[in-house]
A and B are shown apart, each in its own frame.
Chain A
Amino acid sequence: MPSHDVLIIGAGLAGQRAALAAAENGATVGIISKVHPVRSHSVAAAGGINAALNPEDTWESHAFDTVKGSDFLGDQDAIEIMCRAAPDEILWLEHAGVTFHRDDRGHLGTRAFGGASAARTYYVADITGQAILHVLYEQLMKHAGQLDRFEEWFATELIQDDEGTCVGAICRNLRDGRHEVFNARSTILASGGAGQAYRPTTNGLIVTGDGIAQAYRIGARLMDMEMIQYHPTTLAGNGLLITEGARGEGAWLLNAEGERFMEKYAPNKLELASRDVVSRAEQTEINEGRGFPDGTVALDITKVPRKRTLEALREIVNIGRDFAGVDITREPIHIHPGQHYIMGGVKTDVDGRTSVPGLYAAGEVACVSVHGGNRLGANSLLDTLIFGRRAGEHAAGLVRQTRMPHTPASRVSDSERRIGEIIRRPGGEGRRVSAIKAELGDTMNEYVAVFRDAEGLAKAHEIIRRLKEEEPKAAIDDRGTVFNQDVIAAIELGYMLDVAEAIVVAAQERKESRGAQFRTDFPARNDEDWLKHVDISLNGDGEPVVSYSPVTITRWEPEERTY
């Protein structure tokens, strides 16, 4: 029965950074992940990471851009912490080995990014997330003495003691199906977002809202769940991400008439307005008949010098070639807005603490809230690292104040029995897991997307309730215990349905338009009534209930938002 001072669930950037910070502060650390750490979806973050590190830039400017990007829903105390800490975090990464690209003088180079008033995005070609993730994993290998890695283990549930404190988790070794109790003084959730609740999404198949749902089920409060980011440039058809770095390097957006339509919507920042603004502009063009017949507009990367594209945007050259049959250095590529990120998540304070004692959250699973209504590009990597580190440090600091819990081994057999019941579920009674998941994804993408209204949201909620009734009978095929991916998919389906319901309920609640939430029936921002967070938690009957929490404003009063 493994016991650690700090147990971390998820090994993307937030989890690995938390693990390193906790270990550095003297804690014993266990880090579990349902995939090998370098497969975590942080690997797909392409464009870069923001920091006001150049002497002529200021953290205040970065913070204001972030506040404005959030449509004034972000908590400014948290945003200040993040933006002040950003430069040192970049240097920490650089010293750890991240191969940031340089400028002509050999210093760290930057590129422009959306919603930013300075070029402050540090990058490694367009594989920044991969480069950072792999370097953090190098550090995990280096510090193997202080860190126990449990790769390809799946957390099936969080454990609470009689007082409701989270004291670890029950995890399944995917390789042999064995379950174990992981005792921990503190548990940090770092298991990422929930993009697979949508179809299409830029997110990988593993991004299924596990941590959000697990925390929600044991009583943690969720926040800003209605804020779903649609990225402006995802590939027609399969929804793959085309990095914002393309526009940062100078690419244009064109409608089917060849018009650079962003001139109408954001005359100053054009293609580099914040993501919600650009996605809405594109969707408006498409809805009003100025898109291409396949429901897209065009991203013209031929504006970027070819040499620069090949050197700095290589990954999307490959994506264009392999997944669209287009040479992006020679012709425009068809794109549309697509689900990319969830600004909301498990509500935490600036040290990552959730409303459940002993439970922390960091990264996309969490909502601090630094992104508010809309996240700026290249702020997510920063969020994972800063708040991952802070959660790890804080949890390590509690070691002396708490005692090591000992959960009875009988909890393991409960968990094994529940999963065994899914595995032994008779086939033919319900629909297949994949069919339910597909209906969920299509529903969310139709009704809980760039534009929303009461009618559509009600319809989505009705469908989700029906799918939740179907879910316990969903059919699976695999009866084995070695790498039974089928049973994991069935469990993940339940998580996605919980998260989807929270998203819809929050979107129904917020009767205004702010950031990524655009209600066609309430098209204006309404600071008087809605400058507050929508929180969602479960009541005793397993139903979502709404409450509110205030937005923290330190120095930037809400103002009109134009780009």
Chain B
Amino acid sequence: MAEYTLRIRRYDPQSGEAAYWDDHVVDMRPSNSVLDAILYLKGETDGSIGIRCSCQQGICGSCGVRMNGKPGLACNTHLEEAAGRRAGLGGEAEVGPTVIEVEPMGNMPVIRDLIVDMDAVHWKKIRRVTPWLIGKQPVPEREYVVPHENMVDVTQTMACIQCGACVSDCLSMEVDPGFIGPAALAKAYRFVGDPRDDEHAERLWDLSKDPQGIYDCTHCFNCVDACPKDVAPMNQIMRLRRMAGSDFDLEDPNNGYRHEHAFVDNIKKNGLLHEADLLPDSYGGKLHPRAVPELISSLPTAITAMSRGKITPQKALLHQHKAPKEVKRIFEKVEGREERVELNLYIVGYDEADEQSGTSNPPGSGASSDTKPLPEADMTGADERGPATERQDPPGAGEDPQSTDPESES
């Protein structure tokens, strides 16, 4: 047993008061969940603490909250684990029991205490992506015959429990509330990745032409980190992009397509990113009518950067770096593949023998070299990459985990 201070964010819309922190000390096992502690308090001291909850086993998706700054399910987050995050918050050393701050999720309006309005944000976005199967016609008399691997693959997105943790901490949505967002786009992949669906192209076009669609994600990885079910929403968004840009060659009006291709070309040519080229190339080249206004509008940024010594005219304009042989070989190898390799880090079983290669990753997150049922690639070579979390790096996934799209070269 150990003592924890549960600092719960309370808000009662009927009181006329602003939200406030409500502290309670509990003495529980470190392996008890945050929800155990809240239910204990509701039962013993204050039945008015508002939190949605039901299954207590991480499957109903009701109890999404933020605990010491990180979103997740209260029911499968241990007190010890939540308390451990405190160290990273950079606050002053606390006197007394370790504090666990429990707050409502972000990006959604609070109704009361820890209860947020999911319908106004999360479900509205889900409804945006035509969230039902549009089956291929004619409907077969029996089942659609499709590869097992495809069904296992979309199980990753079926595993989404609609808890909203990814929506809570989506940085893009914070800046642009209209962004369709991680949960709904993962839901969209569930149909685009389903061979029974008849409207892959229409769905991809819909999501790439929408300025708040797949190209509105900034690769921050927050959703991957937040998801309690390993759905890895950002990975699904990147797969939608690869399918839109490479498989269906959809040139969207948001410049997502051209930007990705310009990025890959840029690396292929220079080995290191030459940013001065990237912007104009993303708009069709320096002299392209589309690029000129973009270049002009970026001038203030460039001037500021120059005045602070971040860039020099020489570096900006003359990029001396040339792609070394190793980079070229990576491109040759990846582009030489007949099919794109997608690493699904959610469900890739591996046998005992494979583990001798040594990995500390949790079960299910490892991919072995001899099992590759539609594995899921978690990176694209294009666009700016956020910091990769450790579990994103597939152990033993070959020498080239950051491979670019083979077909994105045009």
Contacts and interface: CB of A to CB of B under 8 A. Distances in A.
Given A432-B43, A433-B47, A99 B347 contact: no
A106 interface: yes
Tell which of A35, A103, A204, A483 has the most Cβ of chain B within 10 Å: A483
B349 A307 contact: yes
Contact of A205 (B56, B111, B119, B144): B56
B54 A35 contact: yes
Contacts of A142: 132
A125 interface: yes
Interface in A102-119: 102-109
B145 A107 contact: yes
A349 B363 CA distance: 47
A459 interface: no
Contact of B119 (A106, A151, A485): A151
Nearest to B162: A38
Interface residues of A, number: 78
Contacts of A321: 362-363
A486 B194 CA distance: 43
A240 B56 contact: yes
Interface stretch (B92-100, B152-160, B317-325, B387-395): B152-160
Chain B contact-residue range equals 35 or more
B13 A482 contact: yes
A552 interface: no
A163 B59 CA distance: 43
B76 interface: yes
Contact of A310 (B54, B126, B146, B350): B350
Given A99-B158, A486-B48, A138 B133 contact: yes
A289 interface: no
Contacts of B54: 35, 39, 41, 204-206
A480 B14 CA distance: 7
B143 A91 contact: yes
B247 interface: no
A489 B47 contact: yes
Given A35-B54, A477-B48, A43 B60 contact: yes
Nearest to A46: B59
Contact of A96 (B112, B133, B158): B133
Contacts of B113: 483
Contacts of A103: 148
Interface string A33-72: 0011011110110000000000000000000000000000
B147 A478 contact: no
A23 interface: no
B385 interface: no
A94 B144 contact: yes
A236 to B, nearest CB: 13
Tell which of B76, B351, B362, B364 has the most Cβ of chain A within 10 Å: B364
Contacts of B48: 477-480, 484, 486
The DSSP consensus for interface residues of chain B is loop
A139 B43 CA distance: 37
A480 B132 contact: no
Contacts of B46: 477
B17 interface: no
Given A39-B62, A319-B57, A95 B14 contact: no
Interface stretch (A126-134, A290-298, A371-379): A126-134
Contacts of B363: 310, 317, 321, 327, 329
B34 interface: no
A445 interface: no
Given A310-B364, A477-B46, A44 B143 contact: no
Interface string B21-61: 00000000001000000000011101110101111111111
B285 to A, nearest CB: 44
Given A39-B62, A41-B55, A485-B50, A95 B350 contact: no
Contact of B57 (A102, A240, A480): A240
B12 interface: yes
Nearest to A240: B57
Contacts of B31: 325
Contacts of B348: 310-311
A483 to B, nearest CB: 5
A182 interface: no
Contacts of B142: 91, 107
Given A323-B76, A483-B115, A44 B47 contact: no
B61 A38 contact: yes
A234 B99 CA distance: 32
A308 interface: yes
B55 A306 contact: no
B135 interface: yes
B111 A483 contact: yes
Nearest to A142: B132
Interface of A: 35-36, 38-41, 43-44, 91, 94-97, 99-109, 124-125, 127, 130-131, 134-135, 138-139, 141-142, 151, 175, 204-206, 238, 240-241, 305-311, 314-315, 317-319, 321-323, 325, 327, 329, 432-435, 438, 476-486, 489
Question: Which 7 pairs, one residue from A and one from B, show the smallest C-beta to C-beta distance?
Answer: A307-B349, A97-B133, A434-B43, A204-B54, A478-B48, A102-B148, A486-B47
7 contacts: A125-B155, A310-B364, A314-B159, A325-B31, A477-B47, A482-B12, A482-B112
Given A91-B143, A138-B131, A486-B48, 5 more contacts: A39-B55, A99-B158, A130-B161, A310-B364, A325-B31
